[in-house]
């Protein structure tokens, strides 16, 4: 990054907002000032033009050409070009001059200094052509607004009337207004800069506090800490709520990670010790029967560790929803396949019942749904004594498909029901380990159901059996 770009990025946002605010107001004030200045100048010039046009019309109407049809000095009556006493107040500083069609001056008002009105040749030519023309002309240290108006007799132009007025008052007014606008713009810019900095400091103060607290949480790792929400429910409140939600998710994630690492290391430590112990025994000169027993035990432990690794991999994959396929799955056919597998594994040890309903299709991952159903059925077979009953039922109300696995097994104590879907959680660790369970089967069931937009519910009575129900949304054609 260049030095200049780095410098711009280091400018605090409060100063940037204050500068943007001041710049915006300065541009707005400048635009309004230019509009006001232009409007006032045009209105003043329009008033001058009206006064010149009125005076020229009065003079033009009272000029007579006599018998020769030419404009002579005698045709301009004495005092015609002078203002009446009352007009001196309404139109002061108006100069009048009459010229014939050759441009020769025939008469001038008494207040006109020696010489001619500073009229450009262009407006003289335009007036002799029959067009009324206005123009500004310089005169010493000021400007003069000049009107050239033709004098017509019949269809002939016999001369022109030149009427001029100093623009000193207009220029002084515009100059003073310009100074006021510039001073106002400077005042507005300074006030906007100071006010913008003060307002942004007040507005961004809570954000600075929020950043400070969030930085402390990130540095210390105390994700259980929360940021105090502002009293007003505005964008800052939404931001605070979002960050608190993120902290809650991070807290749960890190807690689950710590628990997972602790539980996984605990689950792996025992089997590894068993395998190591059996390997040490195999180094000894043992009878063949004892060697076979050591190999059998080590093999069982390896198989249990393999199932544990598969379950952990399955959970890791379902933690990333993007890796899950979304395809139509015929649920009743999948349930029938799982049930046939259960019949083959059970080999008549339990009374098995399967209630099939009309065809049901859901959208999801077939392998993961099969694993979910098998975990429920296997769990029921594992914790139901021989001769007990295990049933699988599938029902649909058109929008939701309910898969129910019920058994008449040992049941689950009520105090354990809220936690049975947690990873590595076992109601009876000794008995669960004896049956080969690692406490991940029901965690896979819940995570798979939620991954497919469904839910899982459980009902159980100690000694009276357990019923699991998974509800999944049905795909509509």
Asked whether residue 188 is domain-assigned, the answer is no
Give the pLDDT of residue 373. 92
CA–CA distances in Å: residue 287 to residues 155, 278, 300 = 147, 14, 20
Q: Half-sphere exposure of residue 39, counting CA atoms within 13 Å on the CB side? A: 6
Specify whether 312 is located in the same domain as 339.
no
Specify whether 116 is located in the same domain as 146.
yes
CATH number where 87 lies: 3.30.450.20
- Its pTM stands at 0.48
Q: What are the DSSP E strand ranges found in 326-440?
A: 327-330, 351-355, 361-364, 389-396, 400-407
Tell me the C-alpha distance between 171 and 165, whole Å. 12
Give the pLDDT of residue 477. 56
Among 319, 339, 368, give the residue marking a domain's end.
319
Specify whether 160 is located in the same domain as 91.
yes
Specify whether 315 is located in the same domain as 329.
no
Q: For residue 350, which phi and psi values (nearest 5 degrees)? A: -130, 165
Asked whether residue 462 is domain-assigned, the answer is yes
Of the candidates 342, 423, 429, 425, which has an alpha carbon nearest to the alpha carbon of residue 382? 342
Asked whether residue 356 is domain-assigned, the answer is yes
What sign does the CA torsion over 102, 104, 106, 107 have? positive
In which residue are the tokens 């099939």 written?
356
What sign does the CA torsion over 251, 253, 256, 262 have? negative
Residue 389's domain spans which residues?
Answer: 324-473
Asked whether residue 409 is domain-assigned, the answer is yes
Give the pLDDT of residue 6. 46
Specify whether 112 is located in the same domain as 232.
no
* CB atoms inside a 10 Å sphere around CB 378: 20
Per the structure, the count of domains in the chain is 3
Residues facing 82 on adjacent strands = none
Among 296, 319, 342, give the residue marking a domain's end.
319
Q: Note the helical H segments in 224-330.
A: 235-282, 288-318
Specify whether 464 is located in the same domain as 352.
yes
Q: What is the mean pLDDT of each run of 10 residues along the chain (477 residues)?
A: 48 78 84 90 90 84 68 62 50 75 78 72 87 86 87 81 87 90 87 83 76 82 77 76 84 75 68 78 79 80 74 66 76 90 87 81 89 90 90 88 91 86 68 56 86 90 90 81
CA–CA distances in Å: residue 282 to residues 128, 165, 271, 275, 289 = 132, 126, 16, 11, 11
Give the pLDDT of residue 468. 94
């Amino acid at each position: 990054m260049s030095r200049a770009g780095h410098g711009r990025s280091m400018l605090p946002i409060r100063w940037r907002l204050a500068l943007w605010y001041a710049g915006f107001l300065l541009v707005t004030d400048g635009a309004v000032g230019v509009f006001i200045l232009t409007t006032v100048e045009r209105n003043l010039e329009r008033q001058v033009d009206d006064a010149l046009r009125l005076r020229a019309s009065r003079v033009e109407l009272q000029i007579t050409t006599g018998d020769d049809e030419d404009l002579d000095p005698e045709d301009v009556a004495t005092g015609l070009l002078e203002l009446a006493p009352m007009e001196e107040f309404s139109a002061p500083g108006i100069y009048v001059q009459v010229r014939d069609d050759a441009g020769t001056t025939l008469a001038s008002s008494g207040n006109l200094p020696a010489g001619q009105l500073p009229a450009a040749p262009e407006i003289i030519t335009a007036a002799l052509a029959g067009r009324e023309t206005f123009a500004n002309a310089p005169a010493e240290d000021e400007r003069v607004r000049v009107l050239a108006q033709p004098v017509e007799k019949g269809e002939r132009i016999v001369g022109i009337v030149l009427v001029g007025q100093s623009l000193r008052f207009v220029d002084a007014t515009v100059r003073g207004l310009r100074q006021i606008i510039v001073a106002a713009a400077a005042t507005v810019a300074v006030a906007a800069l100071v006010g913008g900095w003060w307002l942004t400091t007040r507005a961004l103060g809570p954000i600075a506090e929020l950043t400070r607290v969030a930085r402390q949480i990130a540095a210390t790792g105390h994700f259980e800490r929360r940021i105090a929400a502002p009293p007003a429910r505005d964008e800052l409140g939404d931001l605070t709520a979002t960050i608190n939600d993120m902290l809650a998710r991070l807290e749960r994630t890190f807690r689950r990670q710590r628990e997972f690492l602790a539980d996984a290391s605990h689950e792996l430590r025992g089997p590894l010790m068993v395998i190591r112990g059996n390997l040490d025994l195999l180094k000894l000169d043992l009878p063949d029967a004892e060697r076979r027993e050591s190999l059998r035990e080590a093999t069982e432990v390896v198989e249990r560790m393999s199932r544990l690794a598969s379950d952990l991999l399955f959970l890791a994959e379902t933690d990333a929803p993007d890796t899950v396929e979304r395809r139509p799955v015929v649920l009743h056919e999948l349930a029938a396949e799982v049930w046939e597998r259960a019949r083959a594994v059970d080999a008549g040890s339990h009374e098995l019942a399967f209630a099939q309903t009309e065809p049901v299709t859901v959208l999801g991952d077939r392998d993961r749904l099969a694993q979910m159903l098998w975990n429920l059925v296997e769990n029921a077979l594992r914790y139901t004594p021989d001769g007990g009953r295990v049933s699988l039922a599938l029902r649909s109300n058109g929008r939701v498909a309910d898969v129910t696995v019920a058994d008449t097994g040992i049941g689950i104590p009520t105090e354990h029901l809220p936690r049975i879907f947690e990873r590595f959680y076992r109601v009876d660790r000794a008995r669960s380990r004896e049956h080969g369970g690692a406490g991940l089967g029901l965690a896979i069931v819940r995570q798979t159901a939620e991954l497919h937009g469904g839910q899982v519910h459980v009902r159980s009575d100690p000694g009276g059996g357990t019923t699991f129900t998974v509800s999944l949304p049905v795909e509509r054609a």
